[in-house]
Amino acid sequence: MNQVKRTPTSAHTVVKLSTIWMLSTSAVLSGVGVGSASAHPAEQHSQITISQQEAVRFAHQWVESAVSHQLERTEDGPDSWLFTFAPLDKADKRQKPIALRIGKTGELLEYRSDGPVDVPVKEEGIPYALAEFKAVKLVKTLFPERLGEIYQMEPQPYHTDTKKLLALGDYYTVTFGWLKNGKPIDATLEVFVNPRTGEAEYASSSHNANPPVNNQAGKGIVDPALARKVELEKKRFLLTYTEPRFAPENDQVMLVYRLIGERGAVDTYTGQWVSYEEIWRNTVKDAAQKSGDGN
């Protein structure tokens, strides 16, 4: 049975969602179904654009409770479709509409459900461990063929503080990362769980389609020590004041040590510094030139 393990944010190795579960809750997850392998053909995440008819078929397959839902509305956007499924039985308060956003290359980008009306509400809130369980269950249901590409990330402290989330009217956020060839890519999968009902009501996945092939593939990778040396040449380790963002428990300004300097990264294959600012300037310049050529 596919199970999960959370990987620390500072780890160099990544433990996939298809390996082992954290918090010693493997017995709890033993009953979690992941659907049939053939039910999610869009998860091949090809770069080939699919038709709207194919997207509709994928949407039907993704809706686990399709036997009690029917497609009610389709919205066509430039890069995706939004499909809304309504319960067949309008009087059944146990069912709510389900919305799925599917990209034009077949990847699932968003899932939304308000949750059944008659779910017991706990004013004191559910524990974060239960929210994790519900989030993992939803991920396994939505992406059964891609569990080997998904790993769970360490939560921020404010994501696990039940009392403060309830006070702010916020949701538990359980965050997962995506892998390519076993290495993390710049993409996340977030699941939002209602702290009062324990229902996973919303999931959003950014850039989860297979990324383009790197044109540097096949070259040797530079030593991490060299990469670190290059980075430190562009930044300084300083004592600074900062005000943490998205952290309700830290409203005050804090004095911290951190790296300050140019935004960028070290190219894995060349060992050279890649400046994000320079990339942005070149992008703007190229766009302006293309616009001028068009006129």
Average pLDDT, the chain: 75
Mean pLDDT is lowest, of 10-14, 207-211, 239-243, for 10-14
pLDDT of 161 above 50: yes
Output the CA angle 161-3-55, nearest 5 degrees.
90
DSSP 220: P
- Is residue 62 within 8 A of residue 81, CB to CB? The reply is no
Q: Which helix (H) or strand (E) holds 57?
A: helix 52-62
Q: Quick one: pLDDT at residue 208?
A: 61
If one counts the domains in the chain, the total is 2
Q: Which residues constitute the domain of residue 278?
A: 224-294
Q: Are 288 and 170 in a shared domain?
A: no
pLDDT of 290 above 60: yes
pLDDT band at 35 (very low <50, low <70, confident <90, very high): very low
Task: Report the pLDDT averaged over residues 258-269.
Answer: 89
Phi-psi region of 198 (alpha: psi -120 to 50; beta: other; left: phi over 0): left
- Give per-residue pLDDT as tens, 170-195: 889 999 998 887 888 888 899 999 98
Q: Are 195 and 54 in a shared domain?
A: yes
Higher pLDDT, 291 or 209: 291
Residue at 211 is within a domain: no
Nearby residues of 71 by Cβ (< 8 Å), 6 or more positions away: 56, 59, 60, 83, 84, 85
Q: Are 136 and 77 in a shared domain?
A: yes
Residue at 183 is within a domain: yes
Q: Are 194 and 240 in a shared domain?
A: no
Task: Report the pLDDT averaged over residues 252-275.
Answer: 88
Q: Are 182 and 228 in a shared domain?
A: no
Q: Are 191 and 48 in a shared domain?
A: yes
Residue at 213 is within a domain: no
Q: Are 168 and 285 in a shared domain?
A: no
Q: Are 139 and 238 in a shared domain?
A: no
Q: Quick one: pLDDT at residue 165?
A: 84
Q: pTM of this prediction?
A: 0.66
CA distance 3 to 162: 25
Mean pLDDT is lowest, of 50-64, 171-185, 201-215, for 201-215
